[in-house]
Amino acid sequence: MRRQTVASGPTREVTMHVFRGDAEGGEFREYRVPLEEGMVVLDVIHRIQGTQASDLAVRWNCKAGKCGSCSAEVNGKPRLMCMTRMEIFPEGKPITVAPLKTFPLIKDLVTDVSFNYEAAKQIPAFRPRPPDPDGTYRMMQEDIDRGQEFRKCIECFLCQDVCHVIRDHEENKPRFFGPRFFVRLAELDMHPLDTQDRRELVRARAGIGFCNITKCCTEVCPEHIKITDNAIIPLKERVVDDHYDPVMWVVRKLGGK
């Protein structure tokens, strides 16, 4: 990353094209904003909100890449606005900020992401095996490393946004959960304590067969979770294998692997 240490000199301005509108329709509007050292896209959006358009709708919370609220499409690429520094963009060219395309627009940069919360509800709950005699559980670090990778997910839904199964095909939404929930399902499947069988859900309702492993989700994940390689492909294999060999599934589950 290029580090700028110039603090003085004439203030540089940046031109932003920010989508403004709601379910009825909208357009990109131009705002000019003075740049400060180290600014991220979300700072610029806040500056616009504070000085030029107090009703500009945007979600944010932590401003540190931990909550996954401020997802948007910046110059066409799905990103967390709080982790996107302004200095990565070429000087002098306008920067466009648009809402996530896959979800219905509420207003400006805010979309209706309830699709995701509905999917979460349909996943059968974690169901642990009985505890050890002392009432607690022993789990080895190496057995939970992969689960911890999946649990880094901040639910920014950028993977959902970029997944072309639902991005370009509204009709697939009722039969597809999307990468975020394959990560969740893989996490539960690999959890050393879980005993619930979700294979049929993964195959049928979650629609894992729709995924043709283009890895777009992995590329946009701000937590660098290897969604395709570590979650989706093993889930696909498991669904296929177990479909033909239910005994192995039982053996694996009882073995805690």
Partner 1 sequence: MNGLEQHEVHEYDVVVIGAGGAGLRAAIEAASQGVRTAIICKSLLGKAHTVMAEGGIAAALRNVYPEDSWEVHFRDTMRGGKMLNNWRMAQLHAQEAPDRVLELERWGALFDRTKDGRILQRDFGGHRYARLAHVGDRTGLEMIRTLQQHAVHLGIDVFMECTVDRLLKDGGRVAGAVAYWRQSGKFVVFKAPAVVLATGGIGKSYAITSNSWEYTGDGHAMALRAGADLIDMECVQFHPTGMVWPPSVRGLLVTEGVRGDGGTLRNSTGERFMFRYIPDFFKAETADNEAEADGWYEDKKNRRTPDLLPRDEVARAINAEVKAGRGSPHGGVFLDIATRRSADYIRRRLPSMYHQFKELAGVDITKEPMEVGPTCHYVMGGVRVDADTTAAIGLPGLFAAGEVAGGMHGSNRLGGNSLSDLLVFGRRAGHHAAEHARASKGTLAIDARQVEAAVREVMAPFERKTGENPYEIQKDLQQLMHTLVGIIRTESELKEAIVQIGRLEERAARVRVEGSLIYNPGWHLALDLQNLLAVSGAIALAALERKESRGGHTRDDYPKPDPNLAKVNIVVRMKDGELSVTPEPLPAMPPELQKLFEEKK
**Residues of the shown chain interacting with partner 1 in the complex, contacts defined by CB under 8 A:** 1-3, 22, 36-40, 43, 49-51, 54-69, 83, 85, 106-108, 110, 113, 117, 120-121, 125-126, 128, 131, 135-141, 144, 147-148, 151-155, 188, 191, 193-194
Among the listed residues 7, 10, 53, 77, the one whose alpha carbon sits nearest the alpha carbon of residue 45 = 53
Which residue lies nearer to partner 1 by CB, 67 or 233? 67
Q: How far is the CB of 168 from partner 1 (least distance, A)?
A: 25
Q: How far is the CB of 171 from partner 1 (least distance, A)?
A: 25
Q: How far is the CB of 42 from partner 1 (least distance, A)?
A: 8
Q: How far is the CB of 139 from partner 1 (least distance, A)?
A: 5
Which residue lies nearer to partner 1 by CB, 177 or 236? 177
Among the listed residues 84, 89, 62, 54, the one whose alpha carbon sits nearest the alpha carbon of residue 72 = 84
Q: Tell me if 89 sits within 8 A of 128, measured CB to CB.
A: no
Largest CA distance in the chain: 71
Which residue lies nearer to partner 1 by CB, 191 or 236? 191
Q: Tell me if 191 sits within 8 A of 127, measured CB to CB.
A: no
Which residue lies nearer to partner 1 by CB, 93 or 152? 152
Which residue lies nearer to partner 1 by CB, 183 or 232? 183
Q: How far is the CB of 243 from partner 1 (least distance, A)?
A: 26
Q: Tell me if 159 sits within 8 A of 227, measured CB to CB.
A: yes
Q: How far is the CB of 25 from partner 1 (least distance, A)?
A: 13
Q: Helical H runs in the chain?
A: 41-51, 114-121, 141-150, 158-162, 164-167, 179-190, 199-203, 216-220, 233-244, 246-254
Beta strand 13-22 with 25-34: parallel, antiparallel or unpaired?
antiparallel
Q: How far is the CB of 247 from partner 1 (least distance, A)?
A: 26
Which residue lies nearer to partner 1 by CB, 53 or 164? 53
- How far separated are the first and last CA of the chain, in Å rounded? 40
Q: Tell me if 127 sits within 8 A of 194, measured CB to CB.
A: yes
Q: Tell me if 115 sits within 8 A of 34, measured CB to CB.
A: no
Which residue lies nearer to partner 1 by CB, 62 or 240? 62
